[in-house]
Chains A and B, each alone.
Chain A
């Protein structure tokens, strides 16, 4: 039966039921939110019509009926996508904690990204030890800052040579420090230090065909350690930091060939190499 179900799901990948550990994660998130946010989240969960699980079930994406208007239950926020909370979970026979980040897209619950692939034993003994709300729009209004960023202030992070190649008008304002620190939390020990400091000057910019990304960092579920995308190019390459890699090394990932290669531990040096 399991085999037949797998075949049917591969052709018609429609699944509407949450697994036990997913329900525990969402229940813990609900409990941590303020009443208004809790109601909105509960309503959204009830309206989920389809669940897609990717990368050994590390990424759980939720979809809604297209004709359903849930705008009154949506979180109001300037970010098109952001992690609403981080949860640290434990499972039996595993000493390391598992991190689950819950993402909101377009004001609605969309994704759960796990730092480890779920095992068969996760439905029994799965526990959420800590829930940290990163950004709750139902209690705090987060507006993206709009001040102008001077290109000169970026010189120490990209160098004079590269600074001249930054597109004017593409430099985004940095996020407020408390929010920045919260969004950086899952990747604070693995992103390059110059990138870490750069985020206090800008939240991203365009450098030739490379887009240096700011916060919130895009977390990509992988079979091994997850990746955090720091920059992406128009010729299908991305620069990533590896979750848990305390050497802070950057990886250049080719999205066509699926190849990876190390690019050092500094974003500036990596960009100079890539643009030389």
Chain B
């Protein structure tokens, strides 16, 4: 009997403990979900505010923003327009052609301000890519590399990639008459000095060339894009 009583007490105690644990777990879960709900609500609110703000920006001349039932601007449209403008510039309009080919271009408003902002962001990115490529092309000091000044050192030009490039002795000599004079005559016989204009083209720091090529490509792509839209 005593054993049975003891087992019964044990069973009651265990049941009570399980209930208590379940209660605790439930309350913890509830608390967790409560926090998540609150965070979600806050995030949704903030995101909605942001999208509304973006909608106000997008609501420029020529734009045709759409609103959902709650009266807020459709953020997905703006994101799509922005991404399309950005991608069309970076891809030289190839993404636009692809969208047309797969018939998903109707959702893009090519005359919206957000599309235009996307395009200009693409131009900025291409310029930045050009600058990075220019820095890479400017090179670093190493075996067989020598610094070719754009503005000569004797005129105060510093030794930095913003005033020249690290190039081979051959390239240096063919773009710098001062360097050229120290080359052997046999080399000079094989390599006449190019015109002053060409020397200057070679001597311009690659950083600036990269920026110019990036910006030019971006603007060219933008112009092509706009030409095809009309």
Footprint of B on A, CB under 8 Å?
10-13, 50, 52, 54-55, 59, 61, 63, 80-81, 103, 105-106, 108, 110-111, 218, 220-222, 229, 232, 234-236, 238, 253, 255-259
Contact = CB atoms under 8 A, between A and B. Distances in A.
Contacts of B189: 61, 63, 81, 105-106, 108, 110
Interface in B195-223: 195-197
8 contacts: A11-B197, A63-B189, A105-B186, A105-B188, A220-B182, A222-B181, A234-B144, A255-B146
A108 B186 CA distance: 10
Contacts of B193: 13, 52, 54
B192 A234 contact: no
Closest 3 pairs between A and B when the two form their complex, measured CB to CB? A236-B146, A257-B153, A105-B189
Interface stretch (B1-9, B73-81, B99-107, B172-180): B172-180
Contacts of B180: 54
Contacts of A61: 185, 188-189, 192
B177 to A, nearest CB: 6
A236 B169 contact: yes
A105 B195 CA distance: 22
A174 to B, nearest CB: 20
Interface string B65-84: 00000000000000000000
Contact of B186 (A54, A59, A106, A222): A106
Contact of A258 (B178, B192, B196, B197): B178
Nearest to B188: A61
A67 to B, nearest CB: 15
Interface string B24-51: 0000000000000000000000000000
A10 B197 CA distance: 7
A10 B195 contact: yes
Given A81-B189, A105-B185, A255-B182, 6 more contacts: A13-B196, A59-B181, A61-B188, A63-B192, A108-B189, A111-B185
Interface string B149-187: 100111000010000000001001000011111101110
B229 interface: no
B184 A10 contact: no
A196 B181 CA distance: 24
Chain B CB within 10 A, most for which of A10, A55, A258: A258
B143 interface: yes
B186 A80 contact: yes
Interface of B: 143-144, 146-149, 152-154, 159, 169, 172, 177-182, 184-186, 188-189, 192-193, 195-197
Nearest to B146: A236
A229 B192 contact: no
Contact of B146 (A81, A111, A222, A256): A256
A106 B188 CA distance: 11
A222 B159 CA distance: 23
A80 B117 CA distance: 63
Contact of B181 (A10, A50, A54, A234): A54
Given A234-B144, A235-B146, A236-B146, A255 B192 contact: no
B197 A110 contact: no
Given A103-B185, A218-B185, A12 B153 contact: no
Nearest to B157: A257
A215 B197 CA distance: 36
Contacts of A220: 181-182
Contacts of A103: 185
B196 A50 contact: no
Given A13-B195, A50-B192, A258-B152, A229 B146 contact: no
B142 to A, nearest CB: 10
A155 to B, nearest CB: 29
A12 B185 contact: no
A259 B153 contact: yes
Contacts of B186: 80-81, 105-106
A256 B197 contact: no
B188 A111 contact: yes
A59 B182 CA distance: 12
A115 to B, nearest CB: 15
A39 to B, nearest CB: 21
B227 to A, nearest CB: 34
A81 B195 contact: no
Contacts of B192: 50, 52, 61, 63
B161 to A, nearest CB: 14
B194 to A, nearest CB: 8
